[in-house]
Every structure is written in structure tokens, then in C-alpha cells.
């Protein structure tokens, strides 16, 4: 991803809602409702895809989008397991710390979830 000062550009999504495109260019991916985003220390972009109950990552160098948390199903499960298998519920925002750990506001579960960058494990 390259950003130019004073220029508006699309970095993720097509303008059509949905959930598709993992493993491909972020500009061709479908997302639900993006409620928030943050960058890690390497410049990768993380999107809080609230409607799809997922956190998606756009690689800074390749522009490829992947899901890093949430199975895409609404619910509350997965503590202690892989973040991509967890169910989340209407995500609201996220923050990535300097270690790459992701803190997620799991709004309708009234919980703060954490994805450990080293292990990919989610906890509450």
C-alpha cells in the first residue's frame, strides 16, 4: 500500500457489502461494516469488520487481505483457541499494540478480546 498526501484512495473493499476475498487483493475484497482500523509497527492495516464479526489484515507490501480473528459467525466462543475459529459479536473497534497483539471491542458480547500476535490465540 502506498499513500500519497492529499489523495483519497480505496485501500479495501469494492463498495459492495459482503464477506469475500481472503487471500486476494484488498481492493477486490468484500467487507461488511468497517468500524475502525489501526496499523501495526510494520505498517500493516487491520480493519474491524463489525458486520462480519471479523478482524481483517491488509499486508503493507502485497495488499493481500486475510482474516486474523473471527470465524465470520456471530456468537461468543473460542477463548484459548485459534482466533480465526472464535465467534465474535458485532465488533466496534480495535487497537494493535507495539508487540502486534490485537485488542478488540466485542461490543454485543460486552467483552474486550485479545489476539496474541505470537500464538494467534484469542482470550477475553
Q: Which domain CATH number covers 103? A: 2.40.10.500
- C-alpha span between 57 and 83 (Å, rounded): 13
Q: Are 77 and 24 in contact (CB under 8 A)?
A: no
C-alpha span between 69 and 53 (Å, rounded): 8
Note the pLDDT of residue 80. 98
Whether 20 is covered by a domain: the verdict is no
Residue 48 buriedness (CB in 10 A; 0-12 / 13-18 / 19+): buried
Return averaged pLDDT per consecutive 10 residues of the chain, 124 residues in all. Answer: 79 91 96 93 96 97 97 97 98 96 96 98 97
Confidence at residue 69, expressed as pLDDT on a 0 to 100 scale: 98
In a domain, 39, yes or no: yes
Residue 118 is assigned to a structural domain of this protein: yes
Domain that holds residue 118: 26-123
Residue 69 lies in a domain: yes
CB neighbour class for 70 (10 Å; exposed up to 12, middle 13-18, buried from 19):
buried
CA distance 64 to 58: 6
For residue 109, give the 3-state DSSP assignment. helix
Domains of the chain: total: 1
Residue 11 is predicted with a pLDDT of 87
Q: What pLDDT is attached to residue 24?
A: 98
Residue 80 lies in a domain: yes
Is residue 21 domain-resident?
no
Residue 15 lies in a domain: no
pLDDT at 9: 83
pLDDT for res 1:
67
Q: Is 83 inside a domain boundary? A: yes
Cβ 78 vs Cβ 72: under 8 Å:
no
d(CA 89, CA 82): 16
Amino acid at each position: 500500500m502506498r499513500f500519497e498526501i492529499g489523495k483519497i484512495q480505496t485501500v479495501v473493499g469494492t463498495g459492495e457489502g459482503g464477506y469475500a476475498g481472503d487471500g486476494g487483493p484488498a481492493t477486490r475484497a468484500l467487507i461488511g461494516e468497517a468500524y475502525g482500523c489501526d496499523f501495526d509497527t510494520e505498517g500493516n492495516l487491520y480493519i474491524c469488520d463489525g458486520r462480519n464479526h471479523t478482524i481483517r489484515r491488509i499486508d503493507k507490501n502485497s495488499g493481500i487481505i486475510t482474516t486474523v480473528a473471527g470465524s465470520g459467525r456471530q456468537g461468543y466462543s473460542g477463548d484459548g483457541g485459534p482466533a480465526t475459529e472464535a465467534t465474535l459479536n458485532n465488533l466496534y473497534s480495535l487497537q494493535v499494540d507495539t508487540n502486534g497483539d490485537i485488542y478488540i471491542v466485542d461490543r454485543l458480547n460486552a467483552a474486550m478480546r485479545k489476539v496474541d500476535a505470537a500464538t494467534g490465540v484469542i482470550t477475553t
